[in-house]
Structure 1
Amino acid sequence: MSHQVLVINCGSSSLKFAVLGGHSNCPILEGIAERLDSPEQSFITFKHNGAKSVSALPGGDHQAAVGAIKEWIHNNKSAAIQLAGIGHRVVHGGELFSESVIVDERVLAGIEQCANIAPLHNPAHIKGIKEAQKQFGKLPHVAVFDTAFHQTLSADQYLYPIPMRLYREHHFRKYGFHGTSYRYISMQLAELSPTYGKQNALIAHLGNGASVCAISGGVSVDTSMGITPLEGLMMGTRSGSLDPSLLSFIAHAEQLSMDEALNILNKDSGLKGISEKSNDCRTLEMAQASGDTQADLALTMFASRAAKHLASVATNLESLEHLIFTGGIGENSALIRSRICQRLKTLGIILDETKNESVPRGEISCIAPINAVIKVWIIPTNEELLIAQDTLHLINKSIEPSPNT
């Protein structure tokens, strides 16, 4: 049987993809289709064996994108791609899905049911799944949910202090995101620390989207994102948590609808809003180094809020043995790691600044002093690999002979 999986991450205007084996960190093929369903010219990028090709995408929709991927695989026989199945990243599984599942009509209906609380994501996921089902024949499909890992939260953590009827009737509650990343990091840490199953960890997934998670014995006990990915940390373009009344104030002051005001909090805030320059941490660090005080303020606020949320979720742990940084910023920004750890000294977290500044890119590294009680790690995440592994596991499980046969 083949051990290769096509992983699809379908957004409303883009479709990211990768072909991976179940044990290799390096994709055989990867790429992205952009400007889907846009008046601008759509295009698709393929990366294989270090070579990159970009071409226009006639049709410019999700159907065209999935078709282009299938055509590339068919036309490039030397890549020797033999798919066992297709894994789909799905942002929101609500309370319906606490683990990855093989896609059938019931699962599709469940993803659609969750679309009311993820209107920007789940409809695009459904579209991507259906197109892949059409074009890849009878290959099995697996849905891997960002929210599933956090279904272990207790009621006192996932409920909002609002009338209970709103939870009972509409399922308004904290769900959390980045669960696939947190599960991958948790598995990696278990290999690094033999007693991890009895230990506690804080994980900071820092990128354009950012969140933190408290994990006890490999299980999520608290996280910063809520019913949507807007809650919690300050992010690239998202404000993170703030006084809810501010949404109304912005709407009235700017003469906007509530949806338009919410759009400001999602797309024009965070690092971008404070710096008035960029949502990219690398750009802001270069500006800060050259004396840009507004860029420095944005980075300081980002680090400050990340530290506050790490300290907040830590209140649900009986002890603390590990702090892990992951995500694009968490893995690559020594400045942000340093500023966060400086604010967490009260928790006993100490950073070795020399190690922090000189870590090899893309490698697992411990950046705490040798004798530190709390280990501080950089662990690169790989959500695509975990999706591929889940897909292969469920496919193999579905074809295992029954013990009674």
Structure 2
Amino acid sequence: MLVFILNAGSSSLKYQLMNPVNKKVFAQGLCERIGIDGVLKHEFGEKELEMKIDMPTHKEAIESVLSTLTNGEGKVIDSINDIEAIGHRAVHGGEEFSGSVLVTEKVIETMRRLIPLAPLHNPANIMGMEICQELMPGKPNVAVFDTAFHQTMPDYAYMYALPYEQYTKHAIRKYGFHGTSHFFVSNEARQMLDKKHNTRIIVCHLGNGSSVSAVLDGKSIDTSMGLTPVQGLMMGTRAGDVGAGALQYMMSQEGLTIDEALNVMNKKSGIVGISGKSSDLREVLDGAAAGDDRCRLAIDMIAYKIKHYVGAYAAALDGVDAICFTGGIGENAALIREKVCAGLDFMGVVIDPVKNNKRSKEARDIATPASSGRIFVIPTNEEYVIANDTYKVVTTTGN
């Protein structure tokens, strides 16, 4: 089955064309600056194309992608009729979706109702679904939710200690995100452990957005992100865990509205806020190496926050069989992995400095042979999860 995978953002969209049965990727790319001037970056085989294309809306962007896939130098299929299904990344499914579903009017209506929980993401996700329905009528569309994997969390883990009515009236609780990545990486770790039962895995998805999850026997029992992605770890521009009192005090001292304060929390904090240099960890690592103390502080804070959650989740899991690192930072920043794992000998987890500093695009174990808990670096593949879920939903429903 040939699946068109779409991840629609507010002013950009990522895409991939894949056969999930054999994991063959025919093409992938990115549309940027939608509504401004439009840039399409298209990769196929060993080749790359970059084109400036007028994209006033997402519709023109998706039309441009489909045209590039079927015509000219970037052609990889003869017709859009070769596409058998469309898989969509959907950010927030609330409590309504515990798995991937065929897109129907009822599903879209439910996602619209959940927009207050993800005002930046759900509208763009819905737009992508509706445009694909228009441009490829009759083709099944499947929504794959970031939050679905974490719907197995027990109530004592996902509830906030607010008045209970805030949950019953407004569904205020922890939902978690990066679910497709946490699912993929934890499942890969179970294969690497060659242990299917009583597996205790901690996944550290570290990138511009970061989260940690505790996965018991393949099911999420806790995760660091909450009602929204701002909770949890310190990230590229997000603050992560900040006490409500600190937020209120900052607002009163700076004369900020709640929207202005949330803008600070989401876009001006985290790595960029502490380092004062960049939200890109590579630049901050270079700054620390050159003696910049704020960059050094940012690195120490990042590692400490991750380690804090690793320790908490090891306790929640009653031990740990594997700690996994994934995402742009998790896969590439050896120093962060080293700092997170330093001192975890008491848990039976010991990192091998030589293995840790070797670069590879393959999944690997960087723990010492004597370590009772393994340390895995596993490249994530969220697009495969979306494509495979789409394949399973479509074949199961007979579409």
Normalising by the smaller structure, the TM-score range is over 0.9
TM-aligned CA deviation for residue 229 of structure 1: 0.4
Secondary structure in structure 1 of the residue aligned to 2:180: helix
What's the % identity of the aligned pairs? 38
The corresponding residue for 1:29 is 27
TM-score between both structures, scaled by the size of structure 1: 0.94
User: Residues of 1 paired with 2:91 and 2:354: CA distance?
Assistant: 37
TM-aligned CA deviation for residue 305 of structure 1: 0.5
TM-aligned CA deviation for residue 26 of structure 1: 5.6
The corresponding residue for 2:54 is 58
The corresponding residue for 1:171 is 171
Correspondence list, 1:220-235, <5 A = 220-235=220-235
User: Residues of 2 paired with 1:191 and 1:80: CA distance?
Assistant: 34
Is the Cα–Cα contact under 8 Å of residues 189 and 376 in structure 2 kept in the other structure?
no
The corresponding residue for 1:80 is 77
TM-aligned CA deviation for residue 56 of structure 1: 2.4
Structure 2 residue identity aligned to 1:79: V
The corresponding residue for 1:9 is 7
RMSD over equivalenced CA pairs, Å:
1.5
Secondary structure in structure 1 of the residue aligned to 2:202: strand
Correspondence list, 1:173-322, <5 A = 173-322=173-322
Question: 239-248 or 89-98, which moves further after superposition?
Answer: 239-248
Compared with structure 1, are the counterparts of its residues 264 and 24 closer, same or farther at alpha carbon in structure 2 (3 Å cutoff)?
farther
User: Residues of 2 paired with 1:44 and 1:302: CA distance?
Assistant: 33
Is the Cα–Cα contact under 8 Å of residues 341 and 350 in structure 2 kept in the other structure?
yes
Structure 2 residue identity aligned to 1:285: L
Structure 2 residue identity aligned to 1:90: A
The corresponding residue for 1:116 is 116
Q: Give 1:45's match in structure 2, choosing from 37, 41, 48.
A: 41
User: Residues of 2 paired with 1:145 and 1:5: CA distance?
Assistant: 17
TM-score between both structures, scaled by the size of structure 2: 0.96
Question: 103-112 or 89-98, which moves further after superposition?
Answer: 103-112
User: Residues of 2 paired with 1:301 and 1:26: CA distance?
Assistant: 39
Secondary structure in structure 1 of the residue aligned to 2:298: helix
Structure 1 residue identity aligned to 2:207: G
The corresponding residue for 1:157 is 157
Unmatched runs of 5 consecutive residues or more in structure 1:
401-405
Secondary structure in structure 1 of the residue aligned to 2:316: coil
Secondary structure in structure 2 of the residue aligned to 1:220: strand
User: Residues of 2 paired with 1:344 and 1:270: CA distance?
Assistant: 25
User: Residues of 1 paired with 2:234 and 2:290: CA distance?
Assistant: 23
TM-aligned CA deviation for residue 316 of structure 1: 1.5
User: Residues of 2 paired with 1:268 and 1:158: CA distance?
Assistant: 27
Structure 1 residue identity aligned to 2:265: L
The corresponding residue for 1:371 is 370
User: Residues of 1 paired with 2:343 and 2:206: CA distance?
Assistant: 16
Is the Cα–Cα contact under 8 Å of residues 86 and 142 in structure 1 kept in the other structure?
yes
User: Residues of 2 paired with 1:205 and 1:59: CA distance?
Assistant: 32
Secondary structure in structure 2 of the residue aligned to 1:198: coil
User: Residues of 2 paired with 1:217 and 1:103: CA distance?
Assistant: 29
User: Residues of 2 paired with 1:78 and 1:266: CA distance?
Assistant: 39
Is the Cα–Cα contact under 8 Å of residues 307 and 344 in structure 1 kept in the other structure?
no
User: Residues of 1 paired with 2:285 and 2:75: CA distance?
Assistant: 42
Unmatched runs of 5 consecutive residues or more in structure 2:
none
User: Residues of 1 paired with 2:75 and 2:315: CA distance?
Assistant: 53
The corresponding residue for 2:103 is 103
Structure 2 residue identity aligned to 1:65: A
Question: 276-285 or 225-234, which moves further after superposition?
Answer: 276-285
TM-aligned CA deviation for residue 25 of structure 1: 5.0
User: Residues of 2 paired with 1:26 and 1:368: CA distance?
Assistant: 31
TM-aligned CA deviation for residue 270 of structure 1: 0.6
Compared with structure 1, are the counterparts of its residues 25 and 253 closer, same or farther at alpha carbon in structure 2 (3 Å cutoff)?
farther
